[in-house]
A and B are shown apart, each in its own frame.
Chain A
Amino acid sequence: MLELKGLSRHFGGVKAVDGLDLTVRQGEIVGLIGPNGSGKSTTVNVIAGLFPVTSGEVRFNNESLEGLPTHKRLQRGIARTFQNIRLFGQLSVWQNLWVAQNAPEDHARRGFIARWLGGQSGVRAEIAQLLEFSGLAHKQDELAANLAFGEQRRLELARALAAKPKLLLLDEPAAGMNSEEIGQLRDRILKLRAQGITILLIEHVMELVMGVTDRIAVLNFGQKIAEGRPAEIQADPLVRKAYLGGA
């Protein structure tokens, strides 16, 4: 589904991502781990189209995404969350999801005629479903800025889902969460997989990564140093040295 071929992104002399090859297949949950500054977030930003590639290629469903702006990549089915939460703080929870309904079929049903034929009620039902999924139904009229931290993370995930993505890029979704919240997040991620959404998960919290992923790739200084099943990664001496340490 997603193929990174020799992906490089340099910032001046800094090789944030350097020749990364990675394939994510339909329905998989792939983890991307590595020390801080190893290029994980840059990889997500390049896939989402915020930065152009320096060299190499991003292919999605066998099509190159070269030159495609971020909003068009979203319409192809690539949605994301941010490492540092970026909600629309002065919009309500409900409005945050409303604004994010940008799947091609949503644009079609927002036409004037479609709206009279019940497109609007479909929109509302979907938002209600997302609120239910993220446990925020009782907060729908609250300003996003007033939510607690964990609720903001949940809203950001729901907002990414509002565009009905096929591939979800999660950039450290568990950062700052306690272990109960991490457990809930794991359940949500597994539910999404059951719905057929493919996920690329960037995470430092090993409890989550090891528990949900099918496969893990490890980055260090912008290069992939290992790839394999969670158990293999945990046992890999190179990975232990670069990242996991004695853990």
Chain B
Amino acid sequence: MDFYYGLAQTVGIHTLLGLSAYIVLLTGQVTLAQAAFFAIGAYAAGMLTVLAGWHIVPALGASAMFGAATACAVGFPALRVKGLMLVVATLAFGEGVRLFFFNFDYQVAKGEIKVGPLGGEGFRQIRYFQEHGWSTGEVMLFVWVFVVLAMAALWWLDRSRYGAVLRAVGEDELAAQSVGVNLTAVKVSAMTVGGAVAGIGGGLYAHYTTHIEHANFNVLLATFAIAYPIVGGLKNVFGTLAAVIFVQAFLIEGLRFLGDWRNLLFGALIVAAMNLRPQGFLGGRRA
């Protein structure tokens, strides 16, 4: 049973990561910065519960704020460029954040041991759930409360006028600005919302794995973040969820019995999925 709880947690956390890219993709921007916001949320929440002794919920709120604030700050300069230039700019930012955590030491003594991030060693012993006696099932439910809240919030946003504006910008920036849409405000705000969602996801991830290090937040994770909404389609938030289930439950766990062949098949099946459903599983505009 624990295996399935663990899988459900992974699916939930990756759904948050994918949703953070979903809202940015709606505006037609391809960003590889989501792993960095996820990392910032992970370190922030971990430090707040472990070093400052916060309860997990406010710590996750702080993760969201840190993720959002960083995304907003990065959004202003980064979103001045488009297309491949934006991919490169956000990639550089993501690597910068990863290298920051590679060099980030902030340890304090807690009893006999020292805890906190220790550069390349990573940040161990983020044991809030264990220390408070949460069962795996409870942790899984806790994660999914946030997933459901994030999905509901983005669903509502998507259906609001703001969502229509995001999609309008994604379709035709020139027409959108000609009907009075402030492109900078729309893109930066979408990036900010995405940063908040990624921050929460990262905070949950840190507590679920109990050990985070810079290498968790590499380009591969950033690629997964945008792959989920693209594979799932931008019709609505459920596309992202479907893609996460497809990748995490089927491609990664379901095909584990294939051993090394799985990695080969992994890429091939994603290519096949995109060829069969170029608009994503649920359809919607091409990303």
Binding site for B on A (CB under 8 A): 48, 50, 69-71, 74-75, 79-80, 82, 86-91, 95-96, 98-100, 102-103, 110, 159-160, 162-163
Contacts of B167 in A (CB 8 A): 88, 90-91
Q: How far is the CA of A160 from the CA of B167 in the complex (A)?
A: 18
Query: In whole angstroms, what is the CA distance A71 to B168 when docked?
Result: 14
Q: Residue-by-residue, is B161-182 near A (CB-CB < 8 Å gives 1, otherwise 0)? A: 1001101100110111111111
* Residue contact A95 to B177, C-beta cutoff 8 Å: no
A99: which B residues are within 8 A, CB to CB? Answer: 161, 164-165, 168, 176, 179, 181
Q: A162 vs B172: C-alpha distance in the bound complex, in angstroms? A: 18
- CB-CB under 8 A for A50 and B174, given A88-B167, A98-B161: yes
- Set of chain B residues within 8 Å of A79, measured between Cβ atoms: 178-179
Chain A residue contacts of B176, Cβ below 8 A: 88, 99
Within 8 A of A (CB), among B139-171: 161, 164-165, 167-168, 171
In contact, A98 and B164 (Cβ under 8 angstroms): yes
Residues of B within 8 A of A159 (CB): 179
Q: Which of B174, B177, B285 contacts A90 (CB 8 A)?
A: B285
Complexed CA–CA distance, A99 and B179 (Å): 8
B171 x A100 contact (CB < 8 A): no
B255 at the interface (CB under 8 A from A): no
Question: CA separation between A165 and B111, bound complex, in Å?
Answer: 69
Residue contact A71 to B177, C-beta cutoff 8 Å: yes
CB distance from B177 to the nearest CB of A (A): 4
* CB-contacts of B176-219 with A (<8 A): 176-183
B164–A100 contact, CB under 8 A?
no
Name B's interface SS. helix
| Cα distance A96–B165 in the bound complex, in angstroms | 9
Q: Which residue of chain B has the shortest Cβ distance to A75 in the bound complex?
A: B180
Query: With A and B bound together, what is the CA distance between A219 and B168 in angstroms?
Result: 34
A92 CB to nearest chain B CB (Å): 9
- Distance to closest chain B CB from A138 (angstroms): 21
Q: Find A74's partner among B171, B180, B284, B285 (CB 8 Å cutoff).
A: B180
Known: A69-B177, A71-B181, A100-B180. A95 touches B164 (CB 8 A): yes
| 9 A-B pairs in the complex with CB atoms less than 8 angstroms apart | A48-B178, A50-B174, A79-B178, A80-B178, A82-B175, A87-B172, A98-B164, A159-B179, A163-B180
Contact A86 B180 (CB under 8 A): no
Known: A71-B183, A86-B172. A91 touches B177 (CB 8 A): no
Q: Please name the 4 residue pairs, one residue from A and one from B, whose CB atoms are nearest each other, closest first.
A: A102-B180, A74-B180, A100-B179, A86-B175
Known: A98-B161, A99-B161, A99-B164. Contact between A70 and B171, CB under 8 A? no
Task: Enumerate chain B residues within 8 angstroms of A82, measured Cβ to Cβ.
Answer: 175, 178
- Contact across chains for A70 and B168 when beta carbons are under 8 A apart: no
Q: How distant is the Cα of A71 from the Cα of B169 in the complex, in angstroms?
A: 13
- Determine the chain B residues whose CB is within 8 A of the CB of A100 once the complex forms: 179-180
**What chain B residues lie within 8 Å of A86 (beta carbons)?**
172, 174-175, 178
Q: Determine the chain A residues whose CB is within 8 A of the CB of B179 once the complex forms.
A: 74, 79, 99-100, 102, 159-160, 162-163
B161 touches A110 (CB 8 A): yes
B232-252 with Cβ < 8 A to chain A = none
With A69-B182, A88-B168 known, 14 other A-B pairs at CB within 8 A are: A71-B177, A71-B182, A79-B179, A86-B174, A88-B171, A88-B175, A90-B171, A91-B171, A99-B176, A99-B179, A99-B181, A160-B179, A162-B179, A163-B180
Contact residues in A for B183 (Cβ distance below 8 Å): 71
B181 touches A102 (CB 8 A): yes
Residues in A whose Cβ lies below 8 Å from that of B178 = 48, 50, 70, 74, 79-80, 82, 86
Contacts of A75 in B (CB 8 A): 180
CA separation between A89 and B172, bound complex, in Å?
A: 9
Chain B residues in 8 Å Cβ range of A103 = 180
Specify the chain B residue showing the minimal Cβ separation from A144. Answer: B171
CA distance A79 to B176 in the complex (A): 12
Please, how many angstroms separate the alpha-carbon atoms of A110 and B284 in the complex?
28
Q: How far is the CA of A89 from the CA of B176 in the complex (A)?
A: 12
CA distance A86 to B169 in the complex (A): 12
